[in-house]
Structure formats: structure tokens, C-alpha cells
Chains A and B, each alone.
Chain A
Amino acid sequence: MTVRRASLQLVVCAFAIYAAAANAQTKPDVRLPLKDKSVKFAAIGDSGTGERDQYQIAKQMDAYHKAVNFDFVIMLGDNIYGGHEPPDFERKFEIPYKPLLDAGVKFYASLGNHDDPKLEPLYKPFNMNGERYYTFKKGDIQFFALDSNYMDAEQLTWLEQNLRSSKAQWKICFFHHPLYNEGKMHGPDLDLRNQLSPLLKIYGVNLVFSGHEHAYERLKPVDNIYYFIQGDSGKLARHDFHRSDQMAASFDRARTFMIVEVVGDTLYFQTISQDGETVDSGGLSRQAATVKAASLGK
């Protein structure tokens, strides 16, 4: 079979999946305030399967984008499962999110354990500028995309320097492995927590998004920091939670994505399933830092 014919079959197959996914409910039930000059974005995690469920989520994202007009999407890792040949980038990213990409929505990726830590940062549509970890600003928010697979001294030093110098009102970190979670599949990464959480606390990080656990979970604040786990935009692990007082909300019956709007000191969020059902929503107030870095002599 020629490469061209194989590629054509891949595209036809992908569009067939996309068309099938269109059957899901697509009328958006928006619960964000949609204020002028707010920062609006979406979040997906563990998305890159290239399978029907990913396409169904992508279809919902497109419908919500038309209603909400979010500017960008953060990716919480496992952006491309399996092989990393050119057709994988097409089937697992370019085709499902084509309407969003065509509309000018930017994607900012972080690396999961199924991602290639060298190829993906070089892939321009992931906006990683060739780096495993990086930072960017949107309005009053500074985002820190981390590589939780390989948290070496260099990355920790970089994070400390950048958190310390940030003047942003909101500091949001996103990375693949959750520091806290009640999932049965993976659970929290305790050693990563040992190294990262003191920095997040000292330098006033407000919110952390992670993936890896194939379900949705919102935790009660830990050390005054909000934690979301959103590892089910492609993969799903049903009935994936231990009961816990730590959990504020959870969902593991279908795949989800999130939309977020930051208006001044409030961050509004809405979590939407592949069927268009809103499974969680609310507003979170920006916290005052629990510990002043200056008081610790940092």
C-alpha cells in the first residue's frame, strides 16, 4: 500500500469517527458569566487516543467554543498515546481539534508519560517553544507548564525563580502527575508532592491542573491551593475513586473537558461530559498566599 493511500484512508477514517461523534448533544449549557475582558480557556487531559471518544469531546469543545469563545486550551499530558509518527499527530490532534485550530484557538501542552519529551516540544501547534517546561501569561494569569515525568534540579530551580519573580494575580500550574487524588488507578505521586508542594505553597500558586488519573476530580483546597484532576478527555477509568473527605466533586462515568473563565478575583469553571452534560461547575475565590516568601528569607 502506498503512503499516500494509507494517509487518505487514515483521514477518511478519522472524519468518519468525527461525523459519528457529532450525534452527541451539542447545544451548550454555558454556566460561565462570560464577562468582557475576562480570560477564558479550556483544559483537556489524557486526550490523545485518536478514538471515537476523543472526537466526541472535541466536538463538544467546538460547540462550547462557539458559545464561550475561549482563546486557548491547556493540555495536561498524554497528548499523543502510542506511536509518534506523523499520522499519529494527525489522528490524535490535528483532525479532532481542526475546528478549534482553524478558529485560532491555541493549545499549550504539558508532557505526560505517554508523550515524547523531545518530539512534542518541537511541534509548533503545542506552543512549547522546544522546551519541556515553560511559562506564559494571559491577562492577570501566569501559567507554568511543568514536566512531571522528570522533575530534576534544573526544572525545580527554574520553577522557583519564575514563581518568585511573577507579579501575576493568579498563578496556575499544570502538569501530568497529580500531587493529590483519590483515584484507584494511579493515586497521588508522593515523591513529586514532597518536592513541588513547598514551592507551590511558598510562592502563592492558586490552582493546579493535572491529568494521569483517567477521571475527573476536584479536591478541597490543600494548603490553600485548588487542585483539579482532569485525565479523562480521551481515556476513562470508570468507578475509579476511593471515598474521601478530601474530594469536593468527582465524575468517572464518561469523558470530560473543562472550560474556565477568570474574572478579577474569581475563577469560574464548568466540567462537561462527552454527552454534553455539565458534571461540575462553580466559582473559586483567589486566595491570599498562606506564607510570604519574603518572610522565609527566600
Chain B
Amino acid sequence: MASFAQAPPPPGSNDAKVVADFEQRAKQYLDWREKTVGKTPSPVNSPEKIVAARHDLANKVRVGRAGAKQGEVFSSEIADYFRREIAATLNGHHGKQIRSSLRHSEPTEMELQVNQSYPEKVALQSTPPTLLLNLPELPNGLEYRILGRELVLRDSDANIIVDYVPNALPDIAK
């Protein structure tokens, strides 16, 4: 069986500690959310029920995290780690193809705010798989999204921006 995830930083290294700290913060967020607002509903026929459940979840997250600031999950250390990993990936073996995929993924730019909903009418920019494979794995319910040059941590159930890394990607137009 192939293993698709890339090798993590060597155990005991500073990078390994930084990644472990990030994974802990992501887990803490999800634990808090599940404790506060419960789990995802089961599939139903009614879009009204699905949409209402999403709005309810998003409102509870916003209220529960009122005052949350950029950098609470992406510490400055992990933000630096992500910038280095992404730059290395874009300059690596598949860099040309990844840059091509990024340019073709309907790049979007918008001003980001923690606790803001990802706008429903804006297409979700697809995230190149090779880039995903080089980032720490996330628990279900959280995902990475690229928005222009920012790397967003998105609560996929609530459609909320949990945190983001500014200028995580180099300018791919160059």
C-alpha cells in the first residue's frame, strides 16, 4: 500500500515540536467545537434543514470564539514552517505542475478575517494535492484552503475561517 503523506520532520527536531504544537491547537479547536455545538447532522432531503443547521453551527462558533485573532492556531513559528514547506514544494520536483494547477484553480483574493464565513458565492480554490501532502494532516472537520497567497484553516462544517497564514505562498505569477 502506498503512503501518500510526506515524511514528517525528524523526531526531536524543532520543526517536529512546532508541528506537534500546531496539531494540538487544531485538535483543541475541534474538541471545543464538538463539545460546544455537537456533531454534523445526517443526510436529509430538505435543504432547509441542512442550511439551517449550518447557520446555527456557524453562529455558535462565532459567539463561542468572539475575539479570536489571527495567529491563535497558526502561531508565528508554525506560520514560518508552512511558508518554508510551501516554498520548498513549489521549488521542488513537481513545482512547475503545482504552479500551473494554482494558476488554473480560479484564484480568488479577499480580505480575510478570523471567524468570517467563507463567502458562499465565491468558488473554492482547489488545493494542489502535492502541496496538501507536504502539510501536516488535519483532523476531519478542518481543511486547508488557498486564497490568493494566503493559507486558510477552514472549519468545513461551519464554513468558518478559523485562522490563516498571511503570504504563505510566494507570488506564483512571477
Binding site for B on A (CB under 8 A): 82-86, 88-90, 113-119, 121-125, 128-130, 148-154, 156-157, 160-161, 164, 177, 186-187, 189-196, 298
What is the total number of residues of chain B having a CB less than 8 Å from a CB of chain A? Answer: 44
Per-residue interface assignment for chain B, residues 124 to 142, with 1 indicating a CB less than 8 Å from any chain A CB and 0 otherwise: 1111111111000100000
Residue from A153, A187, A192 in contact with B128 in the complex, judged by beta carbons closer than 8 Å:
A192
Question: What number of A-B contacts does a CB cutoff of 8 Å give?
Answer: 131
Beyond A86-B48, A177-B126, A195-B130, is A160–B1 a contact (Cβ under 8 Å)?
yes
Q: Let me know if A151 and B132 touch, CB within 8 A.
A: yes
Q: Let me know if B124 and A149 touch, CB within 8 A.
A: yes
Nearest CB of chain A from residue B169's CB, rounded to whole Å:
14
Q: Let me know if B45 and A152 touch, CB within 8 A.
A: no
Beyond A123-B50, A130-B40, A150-B143, is A113–B4 a contact (Cβ under 8 Å)?
no
Per-residue interface assignment for chain B, residues 1 to 21, with 1 indicating a CB less than 8 Å from any chain A CB and 0 otherwise: 111110000000000000000
Please indicate the chain B residues that have their CB under 8 angstroms from the CB of A84 in the complex.
47, 51, 120
Please indicate the chain A residues that have their CB under 8 angstroms from the CB of B104 in the complex.
186-187, 189
Given A113-B123, A118-B40; 19 other pairs, CB 8 A cutoff: A86-B48, A114-B123, A114-B124, A116-B159, A118-B157, A119-B54, A128-B43, A129-B43, A130-B40, A130-B42, A150-B126, A150-B132, A160-B1, A186-B104, A189-B105, A189-B126, A191-B100, A196-B129, A298-B1
Top-7 shortest CB links A-B: A190-B97, A191-B101, A89-B47, A151-B129, A191-B128, A153-B4, A153-B5
Q: Let me know if B137 and A123 touch, CB within 8 A.
A: no
Residue from A116, A117, A124, A151 in contact with B45 in the complex, judged by beta carbons closer than 8 Å:
A124
Q: How far is the CA of A177 from the CA of B125 in the complex (A)?
A: 12
Please indicate the chain B residues that have their CB under 8 angstroms from the CB of A130 in the complex.
40, 42-43
Please indicate the chain A residues that have their CB under 8 angstroms from the CB of B106 in the complex.
113
